[in-house]
Amino acid sequence: MKIFSFFCVCIILISCEEKTPSQAQQLPKIEITNKDRIISIDSSRINYIKDSSIVAFYNAIENNTFWLENSNRKNLISLFNSADKEGLFLKDFDLIDIQHSEKNIDNLTNNSLIDYDILLTKNLNRYIQKVSIGTLNPNTLYTNWDLKINKVDPKKLLLNFQKKDSFNFALKEIIPNHIVYKKLKSALAIINSLPKYTFNKTEIKHKIVLNDTNLNIIDIKKKLVYWKDLKPLDSLNSIYDASTELAVKKFQMRHGLATDGIIGIETVQALNYTKEERKKEIIINMERWRWYPRIFEAEYLIINIPNYTLQVIKNNDTVRTHKVIIGKAARKTPVLSSKLSLLVFNPTWTIPPTILKNDVIPTAKRDPNYFKNKNITIFNSSNKAINPRNWNIKKALNYRYVQSPGLTNALGLVKFIFPNRFSIYLHDTNSRGYFDNEIRALSSGCIRVQHPFELAEYLLNNPEKWNIEKINLILKTNKPIQVLFKKAIYIHIFYWTSWSENGSLQFRDDLYNYNVGLYEKLHNF
C-alpha cells in the first residue's frame, strides 16, 4: 500500500511540472491582484460574441476574465449607474442584471462569473459607442448635413481600460472634449438640480409693458423665480414692476430674444417651456455634439446657426466674434466642416438656380428695368452678353445671370470661399442694417458676416500688405481680386440650441426644427 501511495505522489508531481509552462502561457498580459479569481474563458464562448471589439478585448488577455478581481469594477458599475449624467438613458444598460450579479458575486459559479465579466465588458463597449460617436447618424437624418463620421476606434478605446491604473484616462478618451460639450453637461446638471416643474401655460392677449397690471404677471413672476432670473419674493402681485422687467430682460437675453423687457408672444412661448422639455433639449444637443469632430484645429471659425454668431477660436480661446445672417427655414444653411481656400474682394455674383427661379425671374417679369437697376448681365448659352430687352422670359432658365461688383452686389464687397457640395460661402452684404435684428434667419443659405473687412484683415494676417487702409483702396477699384489663404484656417458650421454660461442656462429657438422628434429617436433606438 505504501509503495502504491508513493507511486501516486510521483505521478502527481510529474503532472504538475508538465503543466507549469502551459499555465504560464495562460497568464494575462496585465497585472491583476488576486490571480485565483481569474477564470479562463473557453474560446468557443469568445467566438460566440458577435462584436469584434469585445472579442479583441478578451483576446488581448488570452481569453481570461478581467473585471472579477479588478478594483475598477466598482467604478465601472458606478459609471453605468450615472450614465444619465452624460445624457444617456439608463434603460440602455443592463443595470438590473449587473446589480444582481454584483450582489451575489461570492456565490456565483465559474460559468456565471464569466457571464458577468462579459456582461460588464458589453455594457462598457455600449457606453463607449454612445458617448464617443453618438447613437444616431445625422447623415441619415438630414439631407443638408455633410459631416464625416468621427474616426473613433472603439477597440482602442475599450482596450485602454486594460492599461494599469488607467480607468480615468480611458474614460477621458471616450468623452468629447470640446468646451461646448462640457457646457452642455453642466447645463444638464443645472437643470437636474431644479425642483419639480408645476406651472401651467401662460396665455396673453396683448403685450405687457412696464407698470401694466395683468393677472398673468403673478404666474410669470413664479416662472422667473423658478428659472432664477428673479429673486424669490415674499409676496406676489399683478403689477409689472421694474425688478420684474429686469428679470424679463435677463430671461430674454438667455433665450436669444430682443432684450426690450416687453412681454410678448415670443417671450411667453419661451416661458412656457417646462423643465422636462428643456432637459430633453439639452440631451438632444449633447448627442448632436457627439456627431461633431472629436479634435479641432489650433485655429478655426465656428458658427452656431441658431445663435447667429461666428467665433474665431485660437488655441481654445475666442479671439473674435461676429454677428451673422443665416438661411431662412425654407432655405436652410447646411451643417458642415471645411477649410477656407481664398477670399475675393469686389466679387461678382452668379445667381444660383433656386434664387433665380424663386426670386429673380418673378421680379424681372414685373419690372423691365430690374436687371439694369441690379447691375445684372445676362449671358446666353454661347456665353455672350445679351441686351435685357432681348431677354426671352420663356427661356429664362437657360440663361446665366451675373451681378457685377459694387455696392449693389448681393454679396457685398468680399466673400470667403471654402469647398463644399452646397456651394455656400461667407460674404459681406449690401443690406447691413439687418445685423441689428435679433432674429437673423434671412438668407438663401449662404452666411452673411458683419464687419467682414476686419475679419479678412485678421485671417490674411499680413498687416503690411492687407491692412484695412489697403483693403479699402482695393475695394475702390471695383475689380475682382482673389487672395489665397497662406495658413490653414478651418470652418465649422454647426447647430446647437442649448448650453450653459457661467452657471446660467442658455437656449435658442430651434429654427430648422432639428430638435423635433430627435429625443424620441434617441430614446427608442
Q: Catalytic positions, please?
A: 427, 446
- Report the b/e string of 282-293 with b at 16+ CB within 10 A: bbbbbbbbbbbb
Which phi and psi (to 5°) does residue 457 adopt?
-60, -45
Query: Residue 59: what are its φ and ψ, rounded to 5°?
Result: -60, -35
Cell 438667455 found at: 254
B/e letters for 56-84, b = 16+ CB within 10 Å, e = fewer, are ebbebbebbbbbbebebbeebbebbeebe
Task: Count other C-beta atoms under 10 Å from residue 397's C-beta.
Answer: 9
Contacts by 76-82, CB closer than 8 A, 24 or more apart: 76/120, 76/124, 76/167, 77/102, 77/120, 79/124, 79/127, 79/171, 80/123, 80/127
* Cα torsion 371, 377, 378, 384: sign: positive
What does the DSSP assignment read for 103-141? Answer: HTGGG--HHHHHHHHHHHHHHHHHHHHHHHT-SS-HHHH
User: What are the phi and psi torsion angles at 481 (to 5°)?
Assistant: -135, 125
Please list the alpha-helical segments (H only) found in 255-321. Answer: 265-271, 275-291
Buried b (16+ CB within 10 A) or exposed e, 358-371: eebbeebeeeeebb
* Residue 166 and residue 480 in contact, taking contact as beta carbons nearer than 8 Å: no
Amino acid at 85: K
C-alpha cell of 44? 468557443
Q: Are 282 and 191 in contact (CB under 8 A)?
A: yes
How many beta carbons lie within 10 A of that of residue 145, not counting itself?
18
Torsion angles phi and psi, residue 286, rounded to 5: -65, -40
C-alpha cell at 32: 491583476
Closest CA to 292 of 149, 447, 141: 149
Residue with grid cell 445624457, as numbered in its chain: 87
Query: What are the angstrom distances between the C-alpha of 351 and each of 145, 226, 357, 387, 398?
Result: 23, 50, 10, 17, 13
Is the distance from CB of 514 to CB of 142 less than 8 angstroms? Answer: yes
Q: Where are the beta strands (DSSP E) in 428-480?
A: 441-443, 447-449
**In 200-357, which residue ranges form alpha helices assigned H by DSSP?**
216-226, 242-254, 265-271, 275-291, 353-355
| Surface-to-core class of residue 452, CB atoms within 10 Å of its CB (0-12 exposed, 13-18 middle, 19+ buried) | buried
